[in-house]
């Protein structure tokens, strides 16, 4: 898993609320067992025409939003069924962080375990970010995990919360298994001690 420290990137403004995991990655993509290529199915229900060509008016397809690494969306992002593939689709597409006023709990946890930083900010701040990026698509925002802040070009800073354990795992690029493996020596030393 790629470590996350400080990201300076452009963003995609997705003005949608209650985006569920089936909208993020439709069920037909769930037979895949690897993360590679999942980005092709991201928002496919609205991103592509019936013939498979990209819909020019869908925000992710617009040239000015190519290579953006931050997704800004409405509240209740990632609701619906537990679908780790939804996070895989976002990360495979190239997103490293998602900013919304609120996430579904399971999606939030799946994000943290897969290297996608879920940032919760007040709705008025998210709406301001959506307006800013729609008006000025070249805007780069800074998502600083160490200081737990989103920093705008004008210097505005907006703090966000993250569990300290998950923060440390992201900073070190460790998923659950990676964290466990990093403690291998301590585990072996503990196991070598007498039971009583």
Other CB atoms within 10 A of residue 177 CB:
10
Q: For position 180, what pLDDT does the model report?
A: 67
**Three-class secondary structure of residue 117 per DSSP:** strand
Which domains does the chain possess? Answer: 6-192 (3.20.19.10)
Ramachandran bin of 47, using left for φ above 0, alpha for ψ from -120 to 50, beta for the remaining angles: alpha
Residue 154 corresponds to which tokens in the numbers above? 């004008």
**Three-class secondary structure of residue 83 per DSSP:** coil
Cβ–Cβ < 8 Å for 118, 71: no
Residue 111 corresponds to which tokens in the numbers above? 């994000």
Please state, in angstroms and rounded to a whole number, the distance separating the CA atoms of residues 184 and 2.
21
Q: For position 169, what pLDDT does the model report?
A: 94
**Three-class secondary structure of residue 162 per DSSP:** coil
Please state, in angstroms and rounded to a whole number, the distance separating the CA atoms of residues 22 and 185.
41
Local confidence pLDDT in tens for the 196 residues of the chain = 899 999 999 999 999 999 999 999 998 888 877 888 899 999 999 999 999 999 999 999 999 999 999 999 999 999 988 889 999 999 999 999 999 999 999 999 999 999 999 999 999 999 999 999 999 999 999 999 999 999 999 999 999 999 999 999 999 998 877 766 767 777 777 777 887 7
| Helix, strand, coil % in the chain, rounded to nearest 5 | 40, 20, 40
Ramachandran bin of 173, using left for φ above 0, alpha for ψ from -120 to 50, beta for the remaining angles: left
Residue 67, CB-side half-sphere exposure with 13 Å CA sphere: 7
């Amino acid at each position: 898993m790629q470590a996350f420290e400080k990201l300076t990137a452009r963003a995609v403004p997705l003005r949608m609320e209650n985006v569920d995991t089936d909208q993020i990655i439709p069920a037909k993509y769930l037979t895949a067992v690897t993360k590679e290529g999942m980005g092709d199915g991201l928002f496919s229900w609205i991103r592509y025409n019936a013939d498979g060509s990209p819909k020019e008016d869908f925000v992710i397809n617009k040239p000015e939003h190519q290579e953006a690494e931050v997704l800004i969306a409405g509240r209740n992002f990632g609701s619906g069924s537990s679908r780790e593939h939804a996070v895989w689709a976002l990360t495979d597409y190239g997103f490293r962080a998602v900013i919304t006023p609120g996430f579904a709990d399971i999606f939030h946890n799946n994000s943290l375990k897969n290297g996608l930083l879920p940032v919760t900010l007040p709705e008025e701040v998210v709406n301001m970010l959506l307006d800013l990026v729609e008006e000025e698509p070249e805007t780069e925002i800074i998502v600083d995990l160490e200081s737990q802040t989103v920093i705008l070009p004008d210097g505005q800073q907006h703090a966000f919360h993250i569990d300290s354990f998950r923060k440390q795992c992201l900073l070190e690029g460790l998923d659950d298994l990676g964290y466990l493996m990093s403690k291998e020596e301590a585990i072996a030393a503990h196991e070598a001690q007498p039971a009583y």
